Amino acid sequence: MPGIVVVGAQWGDEGKGKATDQLGDRVDYTVRYSGGNNAGHTLVVDGEKYALHLLPSGILNNSVPVIGNGVVVDLDVLFEEIDGLAARGVDTSKLLVSANAHLIAGYHQTMDRVTERFLGKRKIGTTGRGIGPAYSDKVNRLGIRVQDLFDEPILRQKVAAALEQKNYLLVKVYNRAAIDPDEVADHLLGHAERLRPMVADTALVLNQALDRGEVVLFEGAQAHHLDVDHGTYPYVTSSNPIAAGACTGAGVGPRRIDRAIGIAKAYTTRVGEGPFPTELLDDDGERLRRDGGEFGTTTGRPRRCGWFDALVVARACMVNDFTDIFLTKLDVLTGWERIPVCVAYEVNGQRTDQLPMTQTDFHHAVPVYEYLPGWSEDISAARRFADLPANTQAYVRRLEELIGTRISGIGVGPEREQSVMLHDLL
């Protein structure tokens, strides 16, 4: 089973970090293939908490961590994260970074901030990390790649070209000071020698590893419904977090991916703006937020909370062709008398069991709930499905039916061991 991809099935923060970590030492390579340090993946190992933004979760086990070509890399963040882990005794020496990955420079963060402010009420609620502007430059063929750091004249030319239009906009439209291209280039070049030994043709490395039958885990960031093509556009991120994104973002063919694991929370959360039919704006939402500790790993923003939406997850199951679902944070639902699950929407008075085709209808979708009996027993020590109370088992089985994909793992707490496995993920 050499190629496995892990993808968020909702709007992010499903617990991908923990689920990736579950595969642990049986994995040879762990690859980030999209996004950048907008991600925040929390892992709890032996009571120690780690929050990773750019490095793959595999950095905490024995696999070779890889930052693929599809990732946008902020070098300040990369080295800060490496130093933070090294100070805690984590070996980061095996890290590989694609020569084709694009860089996030300070001006991308500036553009992220000013464009959000300019959008006003229509803002996306981005993480402010410069992700969108860096991907825009990539597609606009004005991006700076990792390999450019090793050709100073080229780097200076490219930075100057990237800033030409931006400086015009910053000064004339956004009323900001212009950015000096040489200062930007100097700052980037300051990281070149430290980065050099990590830089590799990662597509070649990964394909050769797969040829040898080694296990490569593609670790998704963000999630299906934040995908720029398949998510709730424009309230999305600027990359393709879906399973297919692993092919473009790491440089492997679709036949290399043997298994696609969707990570879904037992309820739903979202950070930033955009439609969210099952969102709870009342005390129930507050209770989910408190019980689930739903505050962003990256920005600390309170996450919007709501009930499990089977239409949202079923859609992700279809487009990603998930072989398995890992259902996380089931323990957070302990203590409710009954638990609503969204099984359909009403849109303009019509019932539908598919996601609306248009964004306008999605905004107007009213959830239709089925109410499942809750449980009050503490489930955090459960390790086998049979350890779970009957109502908890029934909740899992009903979700499985609704999404049409088998649930192979269940999270009952943040710790590495706090999982119930129904089917092996490898």
β-strand partners of 87: none
β-strand partners of 66: 31, 96
Nearer of residues 15 and 68 to ligand GDP, judged by Cβ: 15
Query: Least distance to Mg ion from the beta carbon of 16, Å?
Result: 7
Is 13 considered catalytic here? yes
Nearer of residues 227 and 331 to ligand GDP, judged by Cβ: 331
- Which partner in ligand IMO, Mg ion, ligand GDP, none is near 44 (CB below 5 to 8 A by kind)? ligand GDP
- In the set 38, 236, 413, 425, which binds ligand GDP (CB under 6 A)? 413
* Contact window for ligand IMO (CB under 6 A) among 129-137, 166-174, 284-292, 375-383: 129-137
| Tokens 């901030």, residue located | 113
Among 384, 389, 380, CA closest to 415: 380
Task: Enter the tokens of residue 255.
Answer: 């036949």
Task: Enter the tokens of residue 230.
Answer: 């398949």
Q: Which of residues 34-53 bind Mg ion (CB under 5 A)?
A: 40
Gap between the Cα atoms of 223 and 272, Å rounded = 13
Candidate list 21, 41, 225, 227, residue with the active-site label: 41
- In the set 14, 81, 227, 324, which binds ligand GDP (CB under 6 A)? 14
- In the set 3, 13, 54, 220, which binds Mg ion (CB under 5 A)? 13
- In the set 16, 138, 224, 315, which binds ligand GDP (CB under 6 A)? 16
**DSSP secondary structure of 141-208:** T---BGGGGG-HHHHHHHHHHHHHHHHHIIIIIS--PPPPHHHHHHHHHTTHHHHGGGEE-HHHHHHH
Residues 221-250, one symbol each (x = binds ligand IMO by CB under 6 A, - = not), give: xxx--x----------xx------------
13 binds ligand IMO (CB under 6 A): yes
Gap between the Cα atoms of 105 and 134, Å rounded = 8
Nearer of residues 19 and 333 to ligand IMO, judged by Cβ: 19
297 binds Mg ion (CB under 5 A): yes
Nearer of residues 167 and 328 to ligand IMO, judged by Cβ: 328
* Contact window for ligand GDP (CB under 6 A) among 37-45, 110-118, 124-132, 236-244: 37-45
Q: Which of residues 286-315 bind ligand IMO (CB under 6 A)?
A: 297
Indicate which residues carry an active-site annotation.
13, 41
- Give contact residues for ligand GDP (rule: CB under 6 A): 8, 12-18, 39-42, 44, 293, 297, 328-329, 331-332, 411-414
